[in-house]
């Protein structure tokens, strides 16, 4: 039975802080919608930016946009065989469908986009109702909690694969061994690149996870140059990481921004001119990037399970957010069914 109310971790008011648990209504699925029984939702850098008032949102709203769960109920017009399916979900609750971006398959750029976890209640709650078009079946070999990482993977494939930025045989530097860095390293490798992932000395545990996936890793001190790479993927979202990446890309190479800084930073953009770089990025995910992500999971080219370093009951959210902020582990996920 789906209850009438559930506990969610929300951004309760505007401004820095103001996070807390709240009771919310569980909405029955309207036509074209489903209700998920959430298994897990990943804690992301974006959630910290929401906590710090550095990312737009519409409080009070339940956070959580990296969601996996089982379909518990379907609305009118939705195939009943979705019931019981284990899924990961696209994050767009609403896009206009009419603007040039929507019509070009890039709802991520729609000005009217409303996403779960920032503008509409998200997955830091046991029950979540959202459009059925957002669903993707998780391959059986992906672990239950790890399904939450399909969403960040779809963001990586959006940046790297549409249009394709990594060629077979490229020497690729990935800066920052967090979730985005390890997913980027695996995605670049799947494209045939020779990948090196670098982190700071304090990132040892994260680099070990990457090592375990067969990725070449290196500890690098701030201010050093890592080499002369065809493409660099900046995944740390830190000024030092961006400076390192810019210094380590060869002339005529590609600088690809994956991490979010959350504030203006200082880098020497003249290097883009002197080195004749292509400087590019991507924002969130698209239906096409989800297809690409699910293919990579299905084929086994990308592993998510080793990235889930802790499953934390929802009620212990404060500890989990603090651990994420401190860079402990790789990906912590909240499990709203426990505690």
**Could you tell me which stretch among 97-105, 196-204, 213-221, 305-313 binds Zn ion (CB under 5 A)?**
97-105
User: Residue 235: which residues within 8 A CB-CB, separation 6 or more?
Assistant: 174, 175, 176, 178, 180, 181, 184, 241, 258, 259
Cβ-based nearer residue to Zn ion, 101 or 303? 101
Provide, rounded to whole angstroms, the least separation between the CB of residue 113 and Zn ion. 7
Could you tell me the maximum CA-CA distance found in the chain, to the nearest angstrom? Answer: 63
**Could you tell me which stretch among 18-26, 94-102, 114-122, 169-177 binds Zn ion (CB under 5 A)?**
94-102
Burial of 222 (0-12, 13-18, 19+ CB in 10 A): exposed
At 246, which helix (H) or strand (E)?
A: helix 239-248
The owner of tokens 């200082």 is 266
Among 4, 13, 14, 96, binds Zn ion (CB under 5 A): 96
Provide, rounded to whole angstroms, the least separation between the CB of residue 224 and Zn ion. 29
d(CA 258, CA 246): 13
**Could you tell me which stretch among 20-28, 46-54, 79-87, 258-266 binds Zn ion (CB under 5 A)?**
46-54
Burial of 325 (0-12, 13-18, 19+ CB in 10 A): middle
- List, edge to edge, every strand of the sheet that includes 5-11: 19-25, 5-11, 61-62
Among 99, 213, 272, 278, binds Zn ion (CB under 5 A): 99
**Could you tell me which stretch among 24-32, 45-53, 127-135, 239-247 binds Zn ion (CB under 5 A)?**
45-53
**Could you tell me which stretch among 42-50, 198-206, 212-220, 305-313 binds Zn ion (CB under 5 A)?**
42-50
158 touches Zn ion by CB under 5 A: no
Among 67, 102, 138, 220, binds Zn ion (CB under 5 A): 102
188 touches Zn ion by CB under 5 A: no
Looking at residue 31, the DSSP 8-state letter turns out to be: T
d(CA 16, CA 8): 19
Residues in contact with Zn ion, counted by CB under 5 A, come to a total of 7
Cβ-based nearer residue to Zn ion, 95 or 248? 95
For the record, the structure tokens of 166 come out as 């990594």
Among 40, 44, 173, 307, binds Zn ion (CB under 5 A): 44
Residues that bind Zn ion (CB under 5 A): 44, 46, 95-96, 99, 102, 110
């Amino acid at each position: 039975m789906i209850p009438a109310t559930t506990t969610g971790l929300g951004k309760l008011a505007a401004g820095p802080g103001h996070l807390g648990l709240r009771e919310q209504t569980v909405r029955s699925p309207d036509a074209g919608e489903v209700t998920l029984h959430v298994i897990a939702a990943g804690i992301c850098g974006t959630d910290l930016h929401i906590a710090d008032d550095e990312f737009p949102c519409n409080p009070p709203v339940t956070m959580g946009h990296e969601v996996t769960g089982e379909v518990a109920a379907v609305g009118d017009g939705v195939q009943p065989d979705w019931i019981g399916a284990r899924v990961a979900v696209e994050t767009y609750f609403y896009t206009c469908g009419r603007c040039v971006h929507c019509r070009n398959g890039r709802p991520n750029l729609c000005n009217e986009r409303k996403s779960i976890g920032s503008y509409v209640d998200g997955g830091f709650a046991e029950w979540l109702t959202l459009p059925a078009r957002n669903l993707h079946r998780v391959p059986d070999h992906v672990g239950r909690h790890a399904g939450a990482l399909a969403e960040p993977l779809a963001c990586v494939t959006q940046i790297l694969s549409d249009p394709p930025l990594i060629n077979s045989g490229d020497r690729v530097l990935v800066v920052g061994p967090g979730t985005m860095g390890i997913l980027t390293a695996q995605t670049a490798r799947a494209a045939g690149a020779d990948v090196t992932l670098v982190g700071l000395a304090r990132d040892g545990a994260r680099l070990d996870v990457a090592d375990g996936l067969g990725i070449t890793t290196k500890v690098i001190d701030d201010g050093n140059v890592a080499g002369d790479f065809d493409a660099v993927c900046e995944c740390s979202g830190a000024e030092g990481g961006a400076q390192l990446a810019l210094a380590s890309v060869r002339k005529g190479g590609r600088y690809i921004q994956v991490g979010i800084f959350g504030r203006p930073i200082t880098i020497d953009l003249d290097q883009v001119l002197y080195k004749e770089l292509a400087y590019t990025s991507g924002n969130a995910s698209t239906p096409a990037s989800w297809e690409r992500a699910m293919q990579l999971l299905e084929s086994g080219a990308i592993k998510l399970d080793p990235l889930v370093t802790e499953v934390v009951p929802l009620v212990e959210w404060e500890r989990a957010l603090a651990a994420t902020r401190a860079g402990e582990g790789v990906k912590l996920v909240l499990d709203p069914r426990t505690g």
